[in-house]
Amino acid sequence: MSEFAFDLLSVSGGARRGRLLTPRGIVDTPAFMPVGTQGTVKAMTAEEVGRLGAQIVLANTFHLYLRPGADLIERGGGLHRFMRWHGPILTDSGGYQVFSLAKLRRLTDEGVTFRSPLDGSEHDFTPDKVLAIQRQLGSDLVMPLDVCLGYPADTEQATEALRLTMLWAARSKAAGAGPGQMLFGIVQGGFDPDLRREAAARIVDLDFEGHAIGGLSVGEPREQTGPLLEAALDRLPAARARYLMGVGAPPDLIEGMARGVDLFDCALPTRIARTGTVFTRRGRINIRNGAYREDWGPLDEQCGCVVCAEYTRAYIRHLFNADEMLGPRLATYHNLSFLAQLVADARVAIAADRFEAWRRETIAEYGTAW
């Protein structure tokens, strides 16, 4: 019997409130997962990530395999102990690196051969090997090897990527995840709604425990993303968790939740924080700007995070302009807290069956500054 369960608690329009039960704790959904590519959410301690409201984090199988190595992490007691995060961890498969490292890889039916961006050495990733690495890491939610395309991609490219993704998905399902792990299937299909529907239907037939939707927000026009997401979601069962990979801008989270997505991840909030860009209820601002030199207010007056409670815009601007490492740390904490509060507010709205009203109010307040 599986140690995992997904309970759908309530719906409001297309939005869903649920609860993902794992051996290492409960994840209330919809939820945003901070990205810890190298076994750390950049600039944050594990304790801080938990304190700001995150219930689950993401780590990168490919990068941890290269450095420090899955063998070392296994000898150290697994990824949770290694990074001192005791809640659930989701690890991706290396499929995103098929896109991001396109010039450093080649594809065959057997898998992917990557040339390491660290030292140029070659490494073969097969569906079985990817799952074996994730067993060594000891993560909770695990992903099969897949092919993620960048925009643009024609029908021929998308069809071939889908063929490989489905071939590897079947092999991954047959191999299975390790004890205490939940294996998701990944929906690809490029930028063709019909291929997206086909991909979703075929992934469902393989009977994975949860479903992920990949290959979106990879450069396509924003007006295409929603219909492609809807095409995939249309074929996914309501009773299993739905994870939209690589999406983290606040309006995109809101639109994803409106369509029925349960889990999100993205490096965006931490990446932009390191350059001084922060989320607020009225849109993004760059705290380096001269307008904040004598601004004694918080980053966001409606934010309840400890950064907004204790520090002024003027001080945080000074930290960035003085090249002090505390500036990116405070901005990162705030951005992640902002998203944790956003999805928490969405859960409350769904439970009260007023998600659509909350969505309109929130988007109207944000305006067009995103």
Positions annotated as catalytic residues are: 92, 265
d(CA 118, CA 124): 15
d(CA 113, CA 246): 23
d(CA 58, CA 56): 7
H or E stretch at 112:
strand 111-115
d(CA 212, CA 233): 10
36, with CB counted inside 10 A (0-12, 13-18, 19+), is buried
d(CA 147, CA 264): 19
For residue 212, what are the β-bridge partners? 186, 243
Contact 244, 329 (CB under 8 A): no
Q: Among 42, 37, 85, which residue's Cα sits nearest to residue 63?
A: 37
Residues 6+ apart with CB under 8 A from 66: 116, 118, 123
Residues 6+ apart with CB under 8 A from 122: 113, 114, 115, 116
DSSP state of 290: G
Contact 127, 168 (CB under 8 A): yes
Buried b (16+ CB within 10 A) or exposed e, 321-344: eeeeeebbbbbbbbbbbbbbbbbe
Q: Give the count of alpha carbons within 13 A of 367, CB side only.
A: 8
DSSP state of 237: -
